[in-house]
Amino acid sequence: MGVYPEFHPTLFRIVNFLAGATTGKVDYAIDYTLKRIAERKAEEKPPSEGPQDMLSKFLDGHAKDPEKFTDWDVLMGTFGNIVAGADTTWISLNAVMYYLLKNPRSFEKLREEIDGIAKSGAISDPVTFKESQTMPYLQAVIREAQRMFPATA
């Protein structure tokens, strides 16, 4: 439906109606997106300074040519990234947990790895992404879960 943005307002109403009172509503995600955009716009530095995430790039595009890349384009681009990223992350985490619970020996081996690294003081609480990259068994578990149940399929 991304090819037909004129249908978005109607589709959002339908999805929100079907979602009921849950936080999976499109309105909830749109509100979250609008808050992140407003926070970024309120920062002192111009969008092109600092880390270049997708929101920075969208805001840069808007600053360069606001008529060609409108506020709506910033919103829809950012919203699309949030929704797409959340969905694939959720699917991957579910696959990891499912396969760990189906394979208790693997689950125990992962716990031993994490406990051992924690006792040595090599990880923080919560574990950072960089720290998680140093855990070979965790990385193997994640890769195997993604192989068995790829989120993008």
Please give the chain's pLDDT, 153 residues, in tens: 567 778 878 887 787 777 666 555 567 778 889 999 999 888 866 656 656 888 989 999 999 999 999 999 999 999 888 887 888 888 999 999 999 999 999 999 999 999 999 999 999 999 999 999 999 999 999 999 999 999 876
pLDDT of res. 43: 84
Whole-angstrom CA distances from 83 to 24, 28, 92 are 10, 11, 14
Q: What is the count of structural domains for the chain?
A: 2
Asked if residue 75 and residue 9 are part of one domain, the reply reads yes
Task: Please state whether the predicted TM-score (pTM) of the whole model is above 0.75.
Answer: no
Q: Are residues 65 and 135 in the same domain?
A: no
74 and 134 belong to one structural domain: no
Instruction: Indicate whether 107 and 82 sit together in one domain.
Output: no
Within this chain, do residues 81 and 127 fall inside the same structural domain, yes or no? Answer: no
Are residues 78 and 108 both part of a single domain?
Answer: no
Residue 82 in any domain: the answer is yes
Domain range holding 15?
5-86
Asked whether residue 27 falls in the same domain as residue 82, the answer is yes
Q: Is 151 helix (H, G, I), strand (E, B) or coil?
A: coil
DSSP 7-55: GHHHHHHHHHHHHTTSTT-HHHHHHHHHHHHHHHHHSSS-TTSS---HH
In a domain, 74, yes or no: yes
- 17 and 61 in a single domain? The answer is yes
Same domain, 81 and 9: yes
Q: How far is the C-alpha of 108 from the C-alpha of 80, rounded, in Å? A: 37
State whether 81 and 107 are in the same domain: no
